[in-house]
Structure 1
Amino acid sequence: MLNSTGKRQIREIEGAKIFFTETFADWINTNNFSDVFIQKRLLELWQNNSSPSNLLAQRCLLCWISWQIEQVCFSLEQQFGHFHGFTHSDLLPYVLDDDGNLQTSANYQCWSREILATFEPDKSSLTTWTSRKVRQHRELNKYLLECGLYLVSDWAILNDTKPQQLAKILGEFHSLTDLEIRQAQNLLSAYHKIYRAERFRQRANSQSKSKCQSPTTQQLQEIVEILQAESVSKFSIISVLQSLQTIANYLREYRIHVRIAALPTVSLDAELHENSTFLEMIPASNSENLLISTDDDNETEAFLKMYRNQFLNCLDNALNTVVDLRMKKLQKKDINKAKQFLIGLQLFHCQRLSMGKIAQQLGLRAQDAVARLLKLKEFRADVRQEILVKLQAQVIELAQKFSTPTKLKKLESQITELLDEQINRIISEAEVEAASIQNNADMSYFSQRLCQKLGNR
């Protein structure tokens, strides 16, 4: 379990320890004492409602699941953490939330209990099921997406992409040629006829509910035969496999982009607080540049004044929009949770209380419950996207006054990149503040505007 500071803490549950030792006393020193054997016996005891020890058996299973959850997070860190910038400690708060109690809480079911409740022993092992459920956890996957990691196999991505969609994704997003797009569409269509069709048949017959595996040699050969029948070109199993993986990588990049608005970053306005300006980042018009020359101080100042006003308005509107959307979503589930969300935001950003103290004031179990309620990283990501959408259109309209129509198309792309950079700075400042909010005397610009909006509600 996690303690009040969000750190992993090993808690020994005396009753469960005694029960486990007594139950398996005769097997501990034998060769038959395996994980599978233990799990099977504990499941039998747990499912026997007439047994006085069924809750202790369940608690032992939940402890095993919690340990396995930690191992999955370690595995994700080892596989992807270095490249995507996260550790297992960043993942644990999303999925390791078991409080160690024997009885289920009336208000909240931890993830370990969800895993156990949905486990079917005749279809998989508890280890496999736990790993799968952790990797399917919605909030964990949202966080991983923010890190640029999309936990879906190449073959699943190819399965749920229509060949018609490739024109936009490969053409507009990846700038492939028409010929390359047609070739990719033909390959994906052949893949669907063989691999996806077989997958559908297996699911219809309840033969497979596991994740998509790599195509077999036989399936790849059948795909090759379809392609050769439709084209004069020659294909090999290896070239088809490599091409399918290439298409999947293109699709993966696009999906990450769509889900977290991962736009390319270029420098913007080197900060409004400094003397360098938005216009200084873009070359002057008298030297084949997009906007007006910064030598014209009056026009430069006019542009910056309008830009700063628009940025402030868009930030305020984005904060209102995201808070309203989150409130409506929570109100559909629990009106009290919606009220707690608003109070929690105010306590954290404005009164700068720790998650532990907020939990006490809101009557929540611990700080992990506050983290799940506020979802600050997701909140900031939503605000960031709202600002970009609102500000981009306004700044492009504003920039038309300072650029010729023939250069506007190129200008739009550059403005998007530049705005993205500045918005990232605002959000990054808020992220740094949130990591050590009690030790930061200065309030971030993000928190200043948010507290003003919360004060007006």
Structure 2
Amino acid sequence: MVVASNYWRLVRLDATGRRKVEEIVSAKTFFQTEFSVLLSQAEIDDRKIQTHLLHLLRESPKSALAETCLRCFISQKIAQICIQLEAKFGNKHGFTRGDLFSFVLDEVSPKQSKTNYRSLATEILETFDCQKGNFNSWIARLVKHHRELNAFLLQHGVYLVSDWAILNDTTSRQLQRIFTEFYHLTSGEIQQFTLLLETYHAIYRQDRLRLRKSGKNAGQCLPPSKAQIEEMISYIRVKYGIDLSSEKLMNQVREMANKLREYRIYIRGGMAKTQSLYTVENCILESPSQDNSQEEEEVEFLTAYRTAFLNCLDKSLESAISDRLNRSSRPKNHSSQQFIFGIHLFHCEQLSMSEIAGLIGLEYQYQVSRLLKLKEFRADVRQRMLKCLHNCVLQQATAYTDPDLLPQLEQKIEVALDEQITQLINQAEAESSNPNRREQSLFAARLCHYLKQVLQR
């Protein structure tokens, strides 16, 4: 059902970062006039309205008003997706809709000029092809594939890909390597999961490939149907002589997918349950008993730690950049602007040093390298972050252990934190040296989030 006001009420963030809904009077008047006949009908849907607005956007003198209506709708949809993500994952993984808004709800008021950055709404409008897809689905796709949002969610242990899609694009060789090197499973366990994955591919993935070959859209990877589950059971029985109930089969399939999900979160810079992270917890939460209350304490501490990790990274990036700019005798001189734009182009637009040179008024690649001093910058952020996180963790630790024991634990905590932060910096360094960058490290994602705010000022 159409909610007409979605097309003239713009959802954005105000100067304090709070969600604000702004009614655009010109858009409201235009919309109610343009769609007066359509809105009088008993049943209409958004697709008819969106198709007409998109046509006006590209073909009509009314394009500016049509664009405003579409941007309002996009902002409403983005906010709705963030609220849904909070409802599904927020409580368990320690984030709110406000945390998510800051990444993707980046539209500005039409009264303000839009310079120096490209909002998500702009990207959605420029890339949508009405001949190939659904507008609502395209908005959801670009929101859920937003690099900074995904880096944040990964850091909180959320990976926005379904179990079924993960299993679809994991090969048997990859599974064997991951379960051997990352999980250290026995050869028997690895063989069992390998057979299960091969069965899944033989039934589920082949069905999707057949749909694509017939020219049909396979759509999202939904859970296996009852018929597909029965086929998998039969396949395992005939080929491997193993009898499984549907319940046991699906339990094993989900276990396999969960392990692969946790591994993907880890290699993308998220906080999976690795030994190095739990070193911090274990040295604080040591106890001879292993009851439910201790499990709750561990989850509570881990959630607080993840939040502190991100907060300290943000603060360290901001202060390191601020200090870099303040070293000049004139903070607003040309070299300061070159630094801001240069580091933005390198990390956020993923341009090479030679490409950046011409865009910021320099002649040679080495001049850009000398200006940015990325290795020095990362080292500066590392030291600031270690100090910030060390203080936060020690403060949190007072709630979980005897204060008299803290001096003994401080060195252990520092070693564990140093390992975590070193891993973060190493990922950023590896990304910087890779000319064919595809995914953003957490370091780069948070840096770009801050730089976007700077460039909007």
TM-score range, shorter chain: 0.5 to 0.7
Structure 1 residues 210 and 23 mapped into 2: Cα distance closer, same or farther (>3 Å)? same
Pairing 1:213–2:190 present: no
Query: Gapped runs of 5+ residues in structure 1?
Result: 272-280, 282-314, 347-373, 385-414, 428-457
Structure 1 residues 133 and 268 mapped into 2: Cα distance closer, same or farther (>3 Å)? closer
Correspondence for 2:293 = none
Structure 2 residue identity aligned to 1:98: E
Write the distance in 1 (CA, Å) between the matches of 2:412 and 2:174.
24
Correspondence for 1:135 = 144
Correspondence for 1:196 = 205
Are the aligned partners of 1:203 and 1:209 in contact in 2 as well (CA < 8 Å)? yes
Pairing 1:110–2:87 present: no
SS at match of 1:10: strand
- Could you report, residue by residue, the CA deviation over 1:330-362 in whole angstroms, capped at 9, with x for unpaired residues? 5526456799x99xx99xxxxxxxxxxxxxxxx
Correspondence for 1:21 = 32
Correspondence for 2:71 = 62
Pairing 1:119–2:128 present: yes
1:283-432 equivalences in 2 (<5 Å):
328-329=346-347, 332=352, 334-335=356-357, 419-421=415-417
Identity %: 35
Which residue, 1, 5, 29 being the options, matches 2:16?
5
* Residue 268 of structure 1: how far off its partner (Å): 9.2
* Residue 62 of structure 1: how far off its partner (Å): 1.2
- Could you report, residue by residue, the CA deviation over 1:310-330 in whole angstroms, capped at 9, with x for unpaired residues? xxxxx9xxx99xx99988545
Are the aligned partners of 1:70 and 1:96 in contact in 2 as well (CA < 8 Å)? yes
- Larger deviation, residues 111-120 vs 30-39: 30-39
- Could you report, residue by residue, the CA deviation over 1:88-146 in whole angstroms, capped at 9, with x for unpaired residues? 11111211112243999575331112222333445543222212221111211111001
- Calculate the TM-score normalised by the size of structure 1: 0.59
Are the aligned partners of 2:57 and 2:66 in contact in 1 as well (CA < 8 Å)? yes
Correspondence for 1:312 = none
Q: CA RMSD in A?
A: 4.3
Which residue, 244, 263, 267 being the options, matches 2:253?
244
Write the distance in 2 (CA, Å) between the matches of 1:95 and 1:210.
24
Write the distance in 2 (CA, Å) between the matches of 1:115 and 1:382.
37
- Could you report, residue by residue, the CA deviation over 1:149-192 in whole angstroms, capped at 9, with x for unpaired residues? 11111011111111122233223322322211101001101211
SS at match of 1:265: helix
Query: Gapped runs of 5+ residues in structure 2?
Result: 1-11, 287-315, 322-338, 363-367, 387-410, 424-457
Are the aligned partners of 1:327 and 1:338 in contact in 2 as well (CA < 8 Å)? no
* Residue 381 of structure 1: how far off its partner (Å): 12
Structure 1 residues 34 and 200 mapped into 2: Cα distance closer, same or farther (>3 Å)? closer
SS at match of 2:173: helix
Which residue, 154, 159, 162 being the options, matches 1:153?
162
* Residue 2 of structure 1: how far off its partner (Å): 1.5
Q: Which has the higher contact order (CA 8 A, sep 6+)?
A: 2
- Calculate the TM-score normalised by the size of structure 2: 0.59
- Larger deviation, residues 24-33 vs 55-64: 24-33
Write the distance in 1 (CA, Å) between the matches of 2:384 and 2:134.
38
Structure 1 residues 42 and 86 mapped into 2: Cα distance closer, same or farther (>3 Å)? same
Correspondence for 1:99 = 108
Correspondence for 2:278 = 265
Which residue, 231, 250, 254 being the options, matches 2:240?
231
Structure 2 residue identity aligned to 1:116: L
Give the structure with higher Rg (CA).
Answer: 1
Correspondence for 1:390 = none
* Residue 232 of structure 1: how far off its partner (Å): 2.7
